[in-house]
Structure 1
Amino acid sequence: MAMSATSGRTGIEKIISLEDAVELLTTAISSPHTTPFCAVPVELASARVNFALLNTCGTSASARLKFTKSYPRLLRAAIRFLTFKQTEEAHDTMFALLAYCRCRKTVRGKSPEMIERVKQFHGSWSEDISEEDNLLRGMVSIRRTVDFLITLIRVALSSLTANKFRTPIAGADAQDQPWPLDVKDLLPAGIPETIQGLELWTRELGGTPKIFKLATVLSLHHKPLALALLRSPHYSFAISRPLVLLTEAMDSYENDSNSARTEEFGDTIQDIFDFFHIFYKQDLTGPWHEALRGKVNEMTPVFERLAAIISSLPGRSSSGPAPDDHWSQTLIAIQLLLSRGGSRRTTLDAGTARLLENLNNPVRDALFEMAIVRKGGCGYLLCPKNSVYSKLCSKCDLVRFCGQEDVVAEGDLGVFVEERPRFH
């Protein structure tokens, strides 16, 4: 397999400055159909920004947020690039233009310094590289760049509660304003077009399961997107495309189940099941269960195969206690999803109910749910105002409401509120 732009490379900060990397990356993804850069130097630029993010900020969430917020132009270019609506043919053309490196030809006749600079941007440069390896290297670079852009967007949104946006800076250029300022800034293509744009990145050419992590973050921030993802009757992005990527991940894992592959496999599974979970967190009225019922026959064989693989992983004994990890949570989620869909198949792990009971941790689970509630939208789960920023209840400082009328309505529903506090 061809090496990535950065594999085996040291001193990336000496090859390109952070400022130049941000400019190169922003320029390339702003005009992907016409950029003079191929995917390899674009990945180098993303790796340089990531190097700064990790080495400057360390594990500090606040430092990473501050770093990411300082590049609003890059964030706006990233969200447009990942949600841009175009035909499948246009997307494939764009992908091929980025993936196929023509840099050897474009630097012929240039100065030795220019040629050496371009070689540095590519990490390794073989004049006799095959067409297949050339394209493969570019495809890997694009995928890694896309995955990094998704990480940037996730960090940038991490401090915002649902439907909350940044405050404009007086006198600043529109592109230098904090991101996002409003829904239009968050989803510049609009909701239907955003879904179509996201789905392009789940296709065979350039597909990445990380796109579901992006969809999760965007949907948690703006509930109408989550509801729009449940498009009947096909539920393509919500269910069908995740099942395809799950199948591809299982095929890849079964062909090569080394430790690195297991970690990558686990990341894919977690990203997709986290995506499934947003529909439980965002919806109470039935569209998700309707989707499950409509797609249960498509889901069942994929989930049964996944459950069998998880149950066979090292350290998972049928007789001993199951470890409290994301694999166990996935087994539970599989059973719950299929039961909600009305599946009558019974070949899944028979100990799932016992597993759920054994992994029960009231304190941890309560804190987890409290964090979701405090950062989410209106505590009245049937509130029709999906796009309104909800303020914290002055009594509990935990649940959010759009207004006093929702406090009263929630009191009647009786999910969060035992008595009706005054909302301010």
Structure 2
Amino acid sequence: MVRGQKYLSAEISLLPDRTKKWSVRAAHIFPNTYAAGMSNLGYLAVFEVMHRFWQFFPQRFFGAEPFSLETGENLAQFPIISVSLSFEPDFLNLVRMFRRAGVPLRAERREQLVILGGAGATINPYPYSPFADAIFIGEGTEYIEKIFAILAENPVGRVPKEKILPELAKIPGVWVPTIDSQLPPRAISKSEIPPVAKIVSSFASFPNMVLVQIQRGCLFACPFCATPVIYNPFKNFSAERIISALAPWETAGYSRVGLVGSAIADHPELGELLDYFAARDVEVFTSSLRVDRLTEDLLKKLAHTTRHTLTFAPETGSPHLKRQIRKDISAEGIISASAKIPAREIKLYYIVGLPDETEEDVRLTGEEIKTISRALGDRKIVASVNPFIPKRGTRWGGFYMMPHQELVCRFGILKKILRGQKNVIIDVNYKRRTRIQWALS
């Protein structure tokens, strides 16, 4: 029995069927959970590109498990290994996977060709240079397609890596450390076609949801955020192209869509998209919304399509820190918008440990969450709290991460303030290993 049968039976896929008769096994790794990987549009987009080539039999790997989801074959049997590294600490899972599979970690000791990409690799590729044969810096499926076109024409194992790597190095954004010590310019996608998930799963973090990117990059310049560093220049995909990209799902049928973007409320055709989904009774989920950009018309349309979760990212409850990060999202604005949209759950994102933050600022964050929870007492409030992690290339990339004990103390302040708020769930995303993310980024 295939190890991943439980997951495979819970998927709906629009990808062409591939079987063992195809000539080259190609591994595609997401070194985190299946749920996270199947909700990551970048990972899914690369997997879809791999399926465009009849020469490959693409198979997925998750976490630190060295056996493929599709057939249970060991990673050591795959001559081509693609890795999507979205979160820097996941590199530890990748190391564990390679060791369990018996695949050498260092590129020069390995026959397999390993290509590393994703947000984690783009922010700071240097730590991974001894491991990866090639690192893709930036984004764009048009460049990913060129990578796999070269690998399809030059099968690894039959053609030495030394002959393949110089060809890969000619592709924009591809860095081959053994050829050039200097990083190439970041690859910038010029595609007008919005990425859309071709697989949905009931075990994904966003169950049975078709994800579609409606924007690339970010309009805003939050000093802690790496999105502009990785994905700018900012671009809105047209409603026509978004609807066209979703057309294959019209036949298969879908009832939930996730709109992916950094400034959803600023999309000039968001109202048109919401009308389209409302007419088809499709429930809409969005990335976090800026309440200061929501018009009355958008609020009315969101009320017709958003039934489960409404997401905001205030980041802090401190007025002076809100000014520093240029994010004026108030408790009053969140309460007002939420009152007009019948979502059962309100999700809030906050950061602790920002530069110049004091314990009083943390208390203000706790009080803001309490104010929102009391005003929306019939809703579930999920407060996702993360530590500030400086990222290379951002305005605050040169700061230090707050010491461990101080962070633990500040998370404790929040929990104490919110104790007794029955409709509030505090989700603190911090472990000691989180500091590895700072070290690698």
Task: Name the structure where strand makes up a greater proportion of residues.
Answer: 2
TM (norm. structure 2) is 0.36
Q: Which protein has the bigger helix share?
A: 1
TM-score (norm: length of structure 1): 0.37
- The structure, 1 or 2, with the larger RCO (C-alpha pairs under 8 Å, 6+ apart) is 1
The higher radius of gyration belongs to: 1
